[in-house]
Amino acid sequence: MIGIKYVGQKAKHTDFLYGTNLTWMPDQVHNVDDSIAQKMLAHTDVYAEAKAAAVTGTAAPFGRSNITTEENQ
C-alpha cells in the first residue's frame, strides 16, 4: 500500500477513474494498492505520494484502509 494525497485545485476530490471511489478532503491521505497508486502518481498535478496512512480499525473494501490527515500522523 502506498499513501496517496490529492494535490489538485479542488477542495474535494473523488477518484472514479481508477475505481477506488475514494474521496480526498484537504490534507487527507489514503492508502492505495501499489498497482493503482503507480498509475495515479503518473498524474503529478493531481496526486502525490505521502507517508502511508496509519491503519486503525478494520480495512475497507478493495484493500483500502482508514484515512488520516497529516495533522495526526
- pLDDT tens-digit series, residues 28-62: 999 999 999 999 999 999 999 999 877 665 445 55
What total number of domains does the chain contain?
1
What's residue 52's pLDDT? 84
- Domain encompassing residue 64: 2-72
Asked if 27 and 71 touch (Cβ cutoff 8 Å), the reply is: yes
Looking at residue 6, what is its pLDDT? 95
pLDDT band with cut points at 50, 70 and 90 for residue 27 = confident
> What is the pTM for the complete model shown?
0.72
Does 22 or 55 have the greater pLDDT score?
Answer: 22
